[in-house]
Structure 1
Amino acid sequence: MARVVRFHDYGGPEVLRIETVDVPPPGPGEVQIRVRALGLNRAEALLRAGTYIENPTLPSGLGLEASGVVEATGEGVEGVAPGDAVSVVPPVSMVRWPAYGELITYPASLVVRHPPSLGWEEAAALWMPYLTAYGALIDVAGLGGGDFVVITAASSSVGIAAIQIANRVGATAIAVTRTSAKKPALLEAGATHVIAASEEDLEARLREITGPDGARVVFDPVGGPIFEPLTAAMSSGGILIEYGGLSLVPTPFPLFTVLGKSLTLRGYLVHEILGDPARLTAAKAFILDGLAAGALKPVIARTFPFDQIVEAHRYLESNEQFGKIVVTI
């Protein structure tokens, strides 16, 4: 028996329940993990609210990131053994492989023995943000030295991962945040420039920073009216990678800017990386190398105990955090 988090109805954080269930032993190719920490993501809030890309059968579990100790392995599993400290790569379906629980079962292909230098909280805050940022910036955009990259929602765990990855490859990270309240933290996190979009003229500031050539890469989870100043300050042949839709306002299509500059507007989901073994292997190698070099390091905004999962989700939706919210067990 183990405690898990499930929801029986769609809604706000209050629909989350901690329930005790039987957890069967791992099957062939599976690993069972005694969880020590969980990383929270907006995708989980969307699933809980009924607005995610998956439509679960209720009641449903949820969760995409966890770290812990291997409890048992199924037939045919190699590379990990009971007692190993591991973290999990986000699955394509969190409904099929939920992470919110004391004891979880995952495919062995998604289980990674994480570096000893990482604590449980950091290990649970690792894979979703860094795989998302790596896939967009390195795998898709080919970000490299000399590039300007504009990173919106920069104080999120994905935004911070993007800043660190940009620095790792010699690009210049321009962090865009709503107000100047988080500017010192973003500069400390490695951003070369920080723009407070609600307090400054975004297009003018981007042009001032990037000069006449503009920014080649934009990494955005917001959408909405910000599209127009972002694309206006991009370079010819640039690429805007959209990985979310946080704006409640419709997103305009800047037709003439896109035509005039031959821009690429590219939708992106981390599932592209997760579903391709070769690309996932390359991504894990890049991230583990960055961790070993000290260039990549998860930032923890706040931790909550497992019993306070509802409060943790409320904080997730407050937009007050800087970095990843983690739940410990």
Structure 2
Amino acid sequence: MQNNASAPEGFILEGFILVGFSDRPQLELALFVVALAFYLLTLLGNVAIVLLSALDSRLHTPMYFFLANLSFLDVCFTTGSVPQMLHNLRGPDKTISYVGCAVQLFFVLALGGVECVLLAVMAYDRYAAVCRPLHYTLIMHPRLCGQLASAAWLSGFGNSLIMAPQTLLLPRCGHRRVDHFLCEMPALIGMACVDTTTLEALAFALAIFIILAPLGLILTSYSHIARAVLRIRSAAGRRKALNTCSAHLAVVSLFYGTIIYMYLQPANAYSQDQGKFLTLFYTIVTPSVNPLIYTLRNKDVREAVKKVLGKGRAPVQ
């Protein structure tokens, strides 16, 4: 047995073993096919939204600025986690280097935090559009949009700078097997051979700021939106207002439903199998359906696609 002084160095060199579903190889094969398909859909859909938002002047609005940020975020999030997941699912090699695990943990935490805050920013944008339509352009001016987007990115990366190092430095008494297919914080904390109460308390406190506070802002925004919609007399006006918000509400429900389960419960109450499937859901499913949710009922995006593909009407001379 190695002594405590030499264990960290050897542990760093050996890295981790991502167990995943290695006891169910047929399930791993099916998950590989599913994960690859959803990853390709994620790249196609989200890159298309980023390009459309940049190329079509009709989409140079606060709503699409934030949507482009969300799409870029989803591309980064999936690219930082899914290729390693596919590598581990396709064969017997389940290893990941210590540095690779550290980078993956950092970006999963950071980008997940960014999305929490960014969804709250998008809810505020919808509040301004529905509840303050006459002052919308004054409220959501380009400088404020840039500041809000920057605040979202800084909050997520700031949270990860605090939590990722402390999670990685936990003593694990030589344990290398991570009962997951990603280097996720709950799974890594669960491997520790010391009391993690203090770290879990810190994680919960930061989660209040990163997860619950943005969720509170989202709910507050939509309570005001609901009251404003009920005051609209025409059915067409109500439908238009609801259409501008329904896509965002669907994304919020998908994302927060999984993230709250993953990060707002004690490590000893964490179900590994449930955690794995929920991680699969918000890692590969949610980012791939976001573009569909935002575009299927969105006339502006459909028209932008036609314009970029050269199928729009010729300009009137």
TM range (shorter): under 0.3
Question: Which structure has greater strand proportion?
Answer: 1
Q: Could you tell me the TM-score, scaled by structure 2's length? A: 0.25
Instruction: Tell me which protein shows more helix as a share of its residues.
Output: 2
